[in-house]
Chain A
Amino acid sequence: GAVVSQHPSRVICKSGTSVKIECRSLDFQATTMFWYRQFPKQSLMLMATSNEGSKATYEQGVEKDKFLINHASLTLSTLTVTSAHPEDSSFYICSAKGGGRPLHFGNGTRLTVT
Chain B
Amino acid sequence: DQQVKQNSPSLSVQEGRISILNCDYTNSMFDYFLWYKKYPAEGPTFLISISSIKDKNEDGRFTVFLNKSAKHLSLHIVPSQPGDSAVYFCAASVSGNTGKLIFGQGTTLQVKP
Q: Which residues of A contact B (CB under 8 A)?
A: 4, 6, 9, 32, 34, 36, 41-46, 49, 93, 95, 97, 102-108
Inter-chain pairs besides A93-B43, A107-B43, 9 sampled, C-beta below 8 Å: A6-B43, A44-B89, A44-B103, A95-B99, A104-B43, A105-B36, A105-B45, A107-B41, A107-B42
Contacts A42-B105, A43-B105; A49 near B100 (Cβ below 8 A): yes
Residues from chain A with a CB closer than 8 A to the CB of B4 are 43
Interface size class of B (residues with CB under 8 A): 20 to 34
Cα A43 to Cα B91 with chains together (Å) = 10
A-B contacts, CB under 8 A, total: 52
Residues from chain B with a CB closer than 8 A to the CB of A46 are 100-102
Check A43 against B44 for contact (C-beta < 8 Å). Answer: no
Interface SS of chain A: helix, strand, loop or mixed? strand
The 4 A-B pairs with the shortest beta carbon distances in the complex, nearest first, are: A105-B43, A97-B99, A43-B103, A44-B103
Cα A41 to Cα B43 with chains together (Å) = 15
Q: Which residues of B contact A (CB under 8 A)?
A: 2, 4, 9, 36, 41-46, 89, 97, 99-106
Contacts A49-B100, A95-B99; A43 near B43 (Cβ below 8 A): no
